[in-house]
Amino acid sequence: MKAVDRHLADILAAVRPLAPMEVDIENALGTVLAEDVASPMPLPPFDNSAMDGYAVRAEDVAATPVMLPVIEDVAAGDGGVHAVGPGLAARIMTGAPVPAGADAVVPVEWTDGGTARVTISRPAPFGNAIRRAGEDVEAGDLVLRAGTRVGPAQVGILAGVGRRRVTVRPRPRVVVLSTGAELAEPGTPLGAGQIWESNSFMLAAAVRQAGGEGFRAGAVTDDPREFLEALDTQLLRADAVITSGGVSMGAYEPVKEALAPLGKVAFEKVAMQPGMPQGFGLVGPDAVPIFTLPGNPVSSFVSFVLFVKPALLAMQGLPTGPPPTVRAATTAPLRSPAGKRSFLRAVLSGEVVAPVHGQGSHQLAALASANALIVLPEDVTELPQGAEVEVIPL
Ligand SMILES: Nc1nc2c(c(=O)[nH]1)N[C@H]1C(S)=C(S)[C@@H](COP(=O)(O)OP(=O)(O)OC[C@H]3O[C@@H](n4cnc5c(N)ncnc54)[C@H](O)[C@@H]3O)O[C@H]1N2
Ligand code: MOO
Ligand SMILES: [Mg+2]
């Protein structure tokens, strides 16, 4: 059997970051920046008021109460603003440029709110309520680095430095193709021997959570020709393909039967539980990565976490590798088959981790009740309650 680490290493050696492309910042959410972004100018670009009030010279309001003539109103967006001379004030609004000569803003609450003249009841020290040019960013400063995942705040600063378009690595478009004659669409009635199809929904959601766009291509039956036709069509829009089912030792294994003869996908037994039957390769004229995951729902989920997600991160130009782990003490004794790495579904809370009831690779409800995977190494078969274990938070 192939080692888990070897299988991941082979996959990561074969996948490449997607080509960068320019997008409108409105479509940048969730992508990864492929360029460093600098600000062309200081932010704020000019000294401006932090409050609604009066722009004054601090020395003129050192002794209060004091009455000052108001020379004009300065609103946010005003251009040619007059200087504030000694003994004068300008009524100013939040975000408006601080007039030359003024060095403090008196909030309106400390005044009588006058328009022709204002009486100020409290001194405002030098610099009061003034936001200085360049306080956030100096001209030329990097505000975002290549490799940053774009969230709402990153979209905001892109706009804030005047960018409309930005170069990113796109979200990988991943087609999820399920196989199995027994599969019925959720929301439709079940026939005899049928179950509702869940893997394509779960895997498409996992793709989205990993920064990609997941497309469900629906389920095909156990006919390898039907599978190949569906694959051919889907390859046109896919940066990667995930299949579920049809890769084990049965008489009807459409994925294996269709792809094995083409010699592009290596079907292997990986030394893990669940998720032993695996396949990976590059298919079609564009050498699109394909992950052929086992059909048992928990097996396909664990396979995604271990192999597909790291590959999707690499395709987005992000640092990648095995899923990050933490350490915790198990609340129950644990068992694992010799020679296989086990991934037990568990609930992690702080320093302790409790395996959930139902560790079968078909037990999707048990998976849905878990928030972590306990990792038991290949050479471990038993651990007592309280032992420290490695845990993958989900
Ligand atoms: N003789 C052997 N039998 C099996 C072996 C083996 O080594 N020797 N391996 C077992 C293991 S481990 C796994 S995992 C499964 C993998 O099977 P396949 O990848 O071929 O998947 P299927 O046979 O199509 O389905 C397995 C199981 O999962 C259910 N399934 C499949 N697709 C979906 C879906 N989209 N949504 C919900 N459930 C799905 C399917 O009904 C089966 O119950 O093989 C073992 N057998
Ligand atoms: O390895 Mo299968 O993936 O246990 O159920
Ligand atoms: Mg099978």
pLDDT score, position 10: 98
141, part of any domain: yes
Which residues sit with Cβ closer than 5 angstroms to ligand 3, an ion?
248, 250
Distance 103 CA to ligand 1 centre (A): 74
Instruction: Determine if ligand 2 sits within 6 Å of the CB of residue 244.
Output: no
Instruction: Specify the number of domains making up the chain.
Output: 4
Give the pLDDT confidence score for residue 151 in this predicted structure.
97
At 23, the pLDDT band (50, 70, 90 cuts) reads very high
Pocket test for ligand 2, best of 361, 362, 364 (most atoms within 8 A of CB): 361
Distance 225 CA to ligand 2 centre (A): 25
- Strands 130-131 and 48-49 come out as antiparallel
Same domain, 263 and 367: no
Please check the confidence at residue 257 and state whether its pLDDT lies above 90.
yes
The pLDDT tens digits for 79-134 are 988 999 999 999 999 999 999 999 999 999 999 999 999 999 999 999 999 999 99
Interatomic CA distance for residues 174 and 194, integer angstroms: 26
Residues 223 and 346 in one domain: no
Surface-to-core class of residue 109, CB atoms within 10 Å of its CB (0-12 exposed, 13-18 middle, 19+ buried):
exposed
Which structural domain, as residue segments, surrounds residue 248? Answer: 4-18+171-315
Query: What average pLDDT does the chain have?
Result: 96
Question: Could you tell me if the CB of 199 is within 6 A of ligand 1?
Answer: yes
| 320 within some domain | no
Strand runs (DSSP E) across 151-264, as ranges?
165-169, 173-179, 183-184, 195-196, 213-220, 240-244
Indicate if 270 and 378 belong to the same structural domain: no
Decide: 180 in ligand 1 pocket, CB within 6 A.
yes
For 198-219, the three-class secondary structure string (H helix, E strand, C coil) is CHHHHHHHHHHHCCCEEEEEEE
Contact 181 CB / ligand 1 (< 6 Å) = no
* Over residues 159-163, mean pLDDT: 97
Residue 299 CA, closest ligand 2 atom number: 3
Q: 193 in a domain, yes or no?
A: yes
> Is the domain of 69 the same as that of 198?
no
pLDDT at 218 over 90: no
CATH number at 150 reads 3.90.105.10
CA distance 337 to 378: 8
Residue 259: CATH number of its domain: 3.40.980.10
Rounded mean pLDDT of 155-174?
97
Cβ neighbours for 382, distance < 8 A, ≥ 6 positions apart: 333, 334, 335, 336
Token pair for residue 279?
């396949």
pTM of the model: 0.91
Q: What is the whole-number distance in angstroms between the Cα of residue 351 and the centre of ligand 2?
A: 28
Assign 143 to helix, strand or coil: strand
Residue 254 CB less than 6 A away from ligand 2: no
Q: What percent of the chain has pLDDT over 70?
A: 100
- The pLDDT of residue 54: 98
Q: Answer whether 47's CB lies under 8 Å from 95's CB.
A: no
Per the listing, tokens 């009831």 go with 357
**242 Cβ partners below 8 Å, 6+ apart?**
174, 175, 176, 177, 203, 207, 290, 291, 293, 304, 308
Q: What is the pLDDT of residue 222?
A: 85
Please state which of the ranges 10-14, 42-46, 99-103, 223-227 shows the lowest mean pLDDT.
223-227
209 versus 80: the higher-pLDDT residue is 209
| Same-domain status, 115 and 83 | yes
Atom of ligand 2 nearest to the CA of 362: 5
For residues 329-354, average pLDDT = 98
Is there a single domain that holds both residue 265 and residue 373? no
Residue 221: pLDDT over 90: no
With a pLDDT cut of 90, the percent of the chain lying above it is 96
Mutate to test the pocket of ligand 1, among 190, 226, 296 (most ligand atoms within 8 A of CB): 296
| pLDDT confidence of residue 81 | 82
For residue 360, being part of any structural domain is answered with yes
Say yes or no: 217 and 339 in one domain.
no
**Residue 68: both structure tokens together:** 């000052």
**256 closest CA partner among 270, 246, 264, 266:** 246
* Rama region for 342: left / alpha / beta (φ>0; ψ in -120 to 50; rest): beta
176 Cβ inside 6 Å of ligand 1: no
**DSSP state, 173?**
E
Containing 364, the helix (H) or strand (E) segment is helix 364-368
290 CA from centroid of ligand 3 (Å): 18
Does the residue 321 lie in any domain?
no
- Same domain flag for 163 and 238: no
pLDDT at 149: 96
Q: Has residue 215 been placed in a domain?
A: yes
Given 255, 282, 315, the domain boundary residue is 315
Question: Is the CB of 195 within 6 Å of ligand 1?
Answer: yes
Distance 248 CA to ligand 2 centre (A): 10
In eight-state DSSP terms, residue 27 is G
CATH number of the domain to which 333 belongs: 2.40.340.10
Whether residue 299 sits in one domain with residue 203: yes
The per-residue pLDDT for 292 is: 98
31 shares its domain with 62: no
> For residue 64, is it within any domain?
yes
pLDDT value, residue 347: 98
Last residue of a domain, one of 292, 315, 338: 315
The CATH code of the domain that includes 83 is 2.170.190.11
The rounded Cα 336 to chain-centroid distance in angstroms is: 33
Distance CA 144, CA 33 (A): 8
Q: Does 344 fall in a domain? A: yes
Boundary of a domain, candidates 260, 292, 315: 315
Instruction: Judge if the beta carbon of residue 296 lies within 6 A of ligand 2.
Output: yes
Query: Are 331 and 377 part of one and the same domain?
Result: yes
Domain co-membership, 14 together with 25? no
pLDDT of residue 196: 97
Instruction: For residue 391, name the pLDDT band (cuts at 50, 70, 90).
Output: very high
